[in-house]
Amino acid sequence: MHGTLNLVGYGLSAIGPAIATGLIFAAYINGVARQPESRSVLQPIAFLGFALAEALALFGLVLAFVLK
């Protein structure tokens, strides 16, 4: 077999941000469904949380390709 363990490591580390993104949007959808007028308040928070979680996933992606 050929390949690099870096990608296995990246696969494992991507689980965390995936769950985080799911939780963030689940909470956002829940909040908007309960109180539609709170959308404008929740939207920036949800996007920032998504950006923070996603940044970690992309961090792992870059490092998986760069580290030797």
34 or 68: CB nearest another protein: 68
- Reduced to 3 states (helix: H, G, I; strand: E, B; else coil), residue 54 is helix
Stretch of residues binding another protein (CB under 8 A), selected from 3-11, 12-20, 55-63: 55-63
What single string gives the DSSP state of each residue in 28-41?
HHHHHHH-GGGHHH
Tokens of residue 2, six digits: 């050929």
62 binds another protein (CB under 8 A): yes
Q: Shortest gap between Cβ of 25 and another protein (angstroms)? A: 9
38 or 43: CB nearest another protein: 43
44 binds another protein (CB under 8 A): yes
Q: How many CB atoms lie within 10 A of CB 28?
A: 19
